[in-house]
Structure 1
Amino acid sequence: MSDFPFLSVLTVAPLVGGLLVVFLPASRGELAKRIALGWSLAVLVLAVFMWIAFDASGDRMQLRESYSWIPRWGVNFTFAADGIALVMLALIALLVPLVILASWHDADNLKRSVPVYFALLLFLEATMIGVFAAADVFLFYVFFEVMLVPMYFLIGSYGGHQRQYAAVKFFLYSLVGGLFMLAAVIGLWVVGGKTFDWQALTQIDISTGTERWLFLGFFIAFAIKAPFFPFHTWLPDAGGAAPAGSAALLVGVMDKVGTFGILRYCLPLFPEASKWFAPWAIALALVGIIYAALLAVGQNDLKRLVSYTSIAHFGFIGIGIFAFTSQAGTGAVLYMVNHGLATGLLFLVVGMLVARRGSALISDFGGAGKLVPVLAGVLFFAGLASLALPGTAPFISEFLVLIGTYTVNKPVAIIATAGIILAAAYVLWMVQRTTQGTLNPALTGVEGMRRDLSVREKVVVAPLIALLLVLGFYPKPVTDVINPAVQATMEQDLNTQDPAPTVGTVQEAHR
Structure 2
Amino acid sequence: MGLLSLAIWTPIAFGIVLLALGRDEQAKSVRWLALVGAVVSFLVTLPLYSGFQLDTAEMQFVEKLSWIERFNVNYHLGVDGISLWFVILTAFINVIVVIAGWEVITRKVNQYMAAFLILSGLMIGVFSALDGLLFYVFFEATLIPMYLIIGIWGGPNKIYAAFKFFLYTLLGSLLTLIALIYLYIQSGGSFDIALWHELPLSATAQNFLFFAFFAAFAVKVPMWPVHTWLPDVHVEAPTGGSAVLAAIMLKLGAYGFLRFSMPIAPDASREWATFMIVLSLVAVVYVGLVAMVQQDMKKLVAYSSVAHMGFVTLGFFIFNPLGVSGGLVQMIAHGFVSAAMFLSIGVLYDRVHSREISSYGGVVNTMPKFAAFALLFAMANCGLPGTAGFVGEWMVILGAVKYDFVVGLLAASALIFGAAYTLWMFKRVYLGPVTNDDVKELTDINAREFTVMALLAIAILYMGLYPKPFTDVMEVSVANLLEHVAASKLP
TM range (shorter): over 0.9
Equivalent residue number for residue 14 of structure 1: 11
C-alpha separation between the residues in 2 aligned to 1:59 and 1:491?
12
C-alpha separation between the residues in 2 aligned to 1:374 and 1:202?
51
Q: Does the 8 Å contact 2:52/2:60 carry over to 1?
A: yes
The structure 1 residue matched to 2:453, chosen from 458, 461, 481, is 461
Equivalent runs, 1:45-444 vs 2, <5 Å: 45-108=43-106, 112-444=107-439
Amino acid at match of 1:210: A
Q: CA deviation at 1:25?
A: 2.6
Q: Secondary structure at the match of 2:136?
A: helix
Q: Does the 8 Å contact 1:368/1:440 carry over to 2?
A: no
C-alpha separation between the residues in 2 aligned to 1:289 and 1:64?
37
Q: CA deviation at 1:106?
A: 2.7
Amino acid at match of 2:431: Q
Listed one character per residue, the Cα deviations across residues 296-317 of structure 1 (whole Å, up to 9, x for unaligned) are: 1111111111111000001110
Amino acid at match of 2:486: L
TM-score under structure 1 length normalisation: 0.93
Q: Does the 8 Å contact 2:217/2:252 carry over to 1?
A: yes
C-alpha separation between the residues in 2 aligned to 1:81 and 1:102?
29
Q: Does the 8 Å contact 2:150/2:238 carry over to 1?
A: yes
Q: Does the 8 Å contact 1:368/1:443 carry over to 2?
A: no
Q: CA deviation at 1:442?
A: 2.5
Q: Secondary structure at the match of 2:403?
A: coil
Q: Does the 8 Å contact 2:318/2:399 carry over to 1?
A: yes
C-alpha separation between the residues in 2 aligned to 1:35 and 1:362?
36
Listed one character per residue, the Cα deviations across residues 443-497 of structure 1 (whole Å, up to 9, x for unaligned) are: 2564xx1x2111111111112111211221211111100111111110134349x
Listed one character per residue, the Cα deviations across residues 35-76 of structure 1 (whole Å, up to 9, x for unaligned) are: 111011001111111211111113421111111111222211
Q: 1:59 to 1:275 in 2, by over 3 A?
A: closer
C-alpha separation between the residues in 1 aligned to 2:487 and 2:246?
32
Equivalent residue number for residue 36 of structure 1: 34
Q: Secondary structure at the match of 2:66?
A: strand
Q: Secondary structure at the match of 1:359?
A: coil
C-alpha separation between the residues in 1 aligned to 2:174 and 2:204?
20
Q: Does the 8 Å contact 1:229/1:284 carry over to 2?
A: yes
Listed one character per residue, the Cα deviations across residues 139-184 of structure 1 (whole Å, up to 9, x for unaligned) are: 1111111100000000010011311111110000001111111111
TM-score under structure 2 length normalisation: 0.97
Amino acid at match of 2:37: W
Q: Does the 8 Å contact 1:178/1:221 carry over to 2?
A: yes
C-alpha separation between the residues in 2 aligned to 1:445 and 1:203?
64
Listed one character per residue, the Cα deviations across residues 220-254 of structure 1 (whole Å, up to 9, x for unaligned) are: 20000000000100100111111111111101001
C-alpha separation between the residues in 2 aligned to 1:45 and 1:154?
25
Q: Secondary structure at the match of 2:82?
A: helix
Q: How high is the sequence identity, in percent, across the aligned residues?
A: 37
Equivalent residue number for residue 475 of structure 2: 483
Structure 1, 252-261 or 484-493: larger mean CA deviation: 484-493
Matched, 1:5 2:29: no
Q: Does the 8 Å contact 1:372/1:453 carry over to 2?
A: yes
Q: CA deviation at 1:209?
A: 0.4
Listed one character per residue, the Cα deviations across residues 247-295 of structure 1 (whole Å, up to 9, x for unaligned) are: 1110100110010000111111111111011110111011111121111
Count of residues in correspondence between the two structures: 487
Q: Secondary structure at the match of 2:12?
A: helix
Q: Secondary structure at the match of 1:232?
A: coil
Listed one character per residue, the Cα deviations across residues 13-41 of structure 1 (whole Å, up to 9, x for unaligned) are: 11100011011132211111111110110
Q: Does the 8 Å contact 2:313/2:327 carry over to 1?
A: yes
Q: Secondary structure at the match of 2:272?
A: helix
Q: Secondary structure at the match of 1:64?
A: strand
Q: Secondary structure at the match of 1:390?
A: coil
Across the aligned residues of Structure 1 and Structure 2, the Cα RMSD in angstroms comes to: 1.2
Amino acid at match of 2:73: V
Gaps of 5+ in 1: 497-511
Amino acid at match of 1:246: G
C-alpha separation between the residues in 2 aligned to 1:444 and 1:215?
51
Q: Does the 8 Å contact 1:268/1:494 carry over to 2?
A: no
Structure 1, 258-267 or 468-477: larger mean CA deviation: 468-477
Q: Does the 8 Å contact 2:292/2:421 carry over to 1?
A: yes
